[in-house]
A and B are shown apart, each in its own frame.
Chain A
């Protein structure tokens, strides 16, 4: 009963700043941990590579090379926050990319082809969302169906790579907006824009808060009168839309659409989101964290290629990090439940 005694009424002594901070922002801890890991990686690589790592060029390239993954991770964050999962995004990205490349190759103007890419992604997301919400299919299974569907559609569009020559699309990648040695491409801006919009939606709109509420307790959210069905379907639509957008970014980046793109990329996106501090059971996490997660992921990849080590090390390190983060998350969740 000790817990109850302190529960009611005004607190006798004011809580310390630290206590208040923890009670308010406990759920940010995993994201702080991700930032810490990113810093450790940067500093470690800098020391190891004797000052050759933290250069404006490398950091700029980090965003550029991982822009498509960042876009996917943004969409994935919505889905994981509801407690779901979306395995389809890698295939959706491939489908969107090859669809766009083919439309452009056949002379369709970019202002038609690009919306078609985005809508294609959103449509697959909508299908998954409806399966999950109204047919009560496990998100894992529904999005697995989406994975096969997207990949199959990509092969239907074309079995081989299609080069993109549309200048508007190539401009997205070739333009370098420079600031000293730093630079950013329109694809990078698209990715950062996606992060900014997602952050706004998740934190400053009722729809965004409903996403968090669903992750906390879907039944409670429904009983609180929130529009959970719509929000849950929308989470998958957003993820599909981001898949379509990532297809655009990747097509611009690689200058071609290819139906075998993004095999397994959905897992990279999930890994980035989890490393960024979003909890797989939903309700806690930040889209900014997912961005950090993508940077952690990208940095590991860069370090490994700098070292000339086997790419398999990439997978081992990411696997270890994931394990570490899941354990950290469990500990945090257990603690916050234990405090009650």
Chain B
């Protein structure tokens, strides 16, 4: 039930402008949020969604513009100011304390007190009551860190309810949840909406946005494009607004999966029985020149574990590795780099880009590491390489001196990709390169992968988005429960077939 325009808005942001060094992050943006609606904020990476949220929650100071909450003009200096005004945020990376109990995370800072001290019994009771009202049945006294991200996210939402939030901001809440967990989350969201809570929802999954939203506001390059009720904005119109150009529909993107691969020679990398006790059961994997091998499977099925063993980031205790037909020892990433294997981690913030360095420095890093620290890559070569990749991958802002930490997720991913490509690898391992990034950046990255593989680069491509895997990869290795359960030829299988295989293949028998 969409909120009608007559309800006075709970949040009114007018003419919000925020500048970062070298970047105009928000340019005169208006945003209105009404009680009892789910309002999606859409835009590509770098469009200013996160910045707008941070402006609303007091994390960033605004350079100009006004924020009214419940009709009253406010200036928030910190997240706690915003919380006191009834605005709570649940971030993609759950911002709770894993070292404390679930109950404490729900109640922290609002524990009932008795006789000068916290009344733990009442605290636990209160937490349990709130948890129950949103249908979360876990032990309130267990440690938060012992629960899945999905549960932690629900705990964060329950916490927001304890604070009697009138506005709940959900920033990419679904990116690490499975289908059932998303449903559970959506039930909670609908429940809150019916109680009159205004919900600001940010997600890259269009299906989810259309499933849950009443209204959509679109941003592009830090500027407002428009606000629309969801039923007046068909998907293609939304995507066009987001990227500002007609999207070459991803479906029509050249499918590299049908390209024939010459598998007569020695594979670029061959793993035989590669495994590690408790981490991955021994698995075989070949990757030939110019081939894209997809790895599909659910989160935690052993996809990342397999490539980490391959790359030497973790040490295998079984199996052997051949590089171009010769036995190779890859016991550390250093060895992998020597064998021209590059690995772009799914955890791009922690294991990927260096946020405090510039775009150029990040790109040159890999090249320089390969060359050895003593021989500096000449400045001119550096600049040329950096300019080339910024251009080729469409990094925004196209400023080699911008700090990577100020870039959006999609652009950080492009920088990371550029860094590895600059080392001229023969095998590129991409672990979730498109997670949490927008359609445009996704298309750019897919196009690049497809283009590079047709020039002879071998790629291992891991993604939760199976369409993407099927489009890019010629072969798909399927993982389940830390075991490789099989390999499929992607010309022989469609999406439903692949899902079915992931779910059911080899059931009851060891593959």
Contact = CB atoms under 8 A, between A and B. Distances in A.
Does chain A bind chain B? yes
Interface of A: 1-4, 7-11, 15, 20, 23-24, 26-27, 200, 203-206, 209-210, 212-213, 215-217, 219-227, 283-284, 336-337, 339-340
A19 B148 CA distance: 17
B289 interface: no
Given A27-B143, A339-B146, 9 more contacts: A1-B301, A209-B104, A210-B109, A212-B99, A216-B99, A223-B79, A227-B80, A284-B99, A336-B143
Given A4-B178, A4-B181, A23 B97 contact: no
Contacts of A8: 148, 150-151, 180-181, 184
> Which of A3, A23, A206 has its CB near the most chain B CB atoms (within 10 A)?
A23
Nearest to B163: A225
Interface stretch (B83-91, B248-256, B450-458, B487-495): B83-91
| Interface SS, B side | loop
Interface of B: 78-80, 83-84, 89, 91, 94-101, 104, 108-109, 111, 116-118, 120, 137-139, 141-143, 145-148, 150-151, 159, 163, 178, 180-181, 184, 298-301, 481
Given A223-B91, A336-B145, A209 B111 contact: yes
A223 B89 contact: yes
A203 B111 CA distance: 12
Contacts of A223: 79, 89, 91, 95
B159 A224 contact: yes
A340 B148 contact: yes
A216 B98 contact: yes
Nearest to B177: A4
Nearest 4 pairs of A and B residues by beta carbon: A204-B117, A216-B97, A225-B80, A7-B148
Contacts of A216: 97-100
B178 A1 contact: yes
Nearest to A220: B95
B184 A209 contact: no
Contact of A24 (B80, B84, B141): B141
> Which of B91, B98, B100, B148 has its CB near the most chain A CB atoms (within 10 A)?
B100
A283 B96 CA distance: 12
Given A216-B97, A219-B95, A224-B109, A20 B79 contact: no
Contacts of A336: 143, 145-146
B147 A26 contact: no
A337 B143 CA distance: 11
A10 B79 contact: no
Nearest to B81: A225
A210 to B, nearest CB: 8
Contact of A27 (B99, B148, B481): B99
Given A10-B137, A224-B108, A226-B108, A4 B299 contact: yes
A4 B148 contact: yes
B108 A209 contact: yes
Contacts of B91: 223
| Interface SS, A side | helix
A4 B150 CA distance: 8
Given A1-B298, A23-B139, A340 B145 contact: yes
13 contacts: A2-B481, A11-B137, A20-B142, A23-B143, A24-B139, A24-B141, A209-B108, A222-B79, A224-B159, A225-B79, A283-B97, A284-B99, A340-B146
A7 B139 CA distance: 12
A212 B299 contact: no
B447 to A, nearest CB: 30
Nearest to A2: B481
A55 to B, nearest CB: 37
A24 B143 contact: yes
Contacts of A219: 95
> Which of B111, B117, B137 has its CB near the most chain A CB atoms (within 10 A)?
B117
B150 to A, nearest CB: 6
Contacts of A227: 80
Given A24-B101, A219-B95, A224-B95, A7 B299 contact: no
A203 B100 CA distance: 12
B298 A220 contact: no
A227 B79 CA distance: 10
B149 to A, nearest CB: 8
B117 A220 contact: no
B102 to A, nearest CB: 10
B490 to A, nearest CB: 22
A160 to B, nearest CB: 45
Nearest to B159: A224
A206 B111 contact: yes
A217 B147 contact: no
Given A8-B180, A206-B109, A217 B150 contact: no
Contact of A220 (B96, B101, B118): B96
Contacts of B79: 222-225
Contacts of B120: 204
Nearest to A26: B143
Nearest to A10: B137
Contacts of A7: 147-148, 150-151, 181
B95 A2 contact: no
A258 to B, nearest CB: 39
> Which of A10, A216, A221, A223 has its CB near the most chain B CB atoms (within 10 A)?
A223
A24 B142 contact: yes
B141 to A, nearest CB: 5
A225 B139 contact: no
> Which of B101, B109, B116, B150 has its CB near the most chain A CB atoms (within 10 A)?
B109
Contacts of A209: 100, 104, 108-109, 111, 118
A9 B94 CA distance: 19
Contact of A217 (B98, B101, B117, B181): B98
Given A1-B301, A200-B117, A217 B97 contact: yes
Given A8-B180, A212-B100, A205 B117 contact: yes
> Which of B95, B97, B300 has its CB near the most chain A CB atoms (within 10 A)?
B97
